[in-house]
Amino acid sequence: MKMKHSALSVLALALLGTSFPALSYDGDWKRGRLYYSNVCSDCHKAKAGGVIEPTSRTKAEWAAYIQADKHAKGKESLKHYFSKPYRDSIKATNRVAAKFADAPDTELIEDVKAFLNRGAKDGDAPAKCS
């Protein structure tokens, strides 16, 4: 009986010392396409002189752009455009922003990353938003 108890103790201690990889969210490129096409592209059409196609950059260029977190020539944080307050501010006129009103910001960023990675110039399925 004592040996059984010791074996369980050793097993428990071993599990406590083991690091498990954090559960991470894998972006959904289809959700990313929907958000990019209907939120990002709509804003760029109205305010920034035109849509920026996913094929305008390579995967590495998109990754660097997102990592830098600079938008509007460095004047704003890119993450702002994935935030709940931003989506709340446009949801009356943008049905996709309304649809994703309660989605976690980090998930939407990962979704758009997945879409841009897939649709980039050197991606698996180069995409256009027009």
Q: What is the pLDDT of residue 94?
A: 96
**For residues 96 and 39, is the Cβ–Cβ distance under 8 A?**
yes
**Count of domains observed in the chain:** 1
Q: What is the pLDDT of residue 15?
A: 46
CA distances from 115 to 8, 31, 38, 40 (A): 46, 8, 13, 12
Q: Which residue, among 63, 67, 101, 65, has the nearest Cα to 82 in the 3D structure?
A: 101
- By residue range, what is the domain housing residue 63? 29-119
Residue 19 lies in a domain: no
Residue 16 lies in a domain: no
**Using CA atoms, how far apart are residues 125 and 80, in angstroms rounded to an integer?**
27
Q: What is the pLDDT of residue 126?
A: 85
Hey, how many other C-beta atoms are within 10 angstroms of the C-beta on 118? Answer: 19
Residue 17 lies in a domain: no
**For residues 52 and 127, is the Cβ–Cβ distance under 8 A?**
no
Residue 94 lies in a domain: yes
Going from the first residue of the chain to its last (130 residues), give the mean pLDDT of each consecutive group of 10, the final group possibly shorter: 52 46 79 95 86 94 95 90 96 96 96 96 80
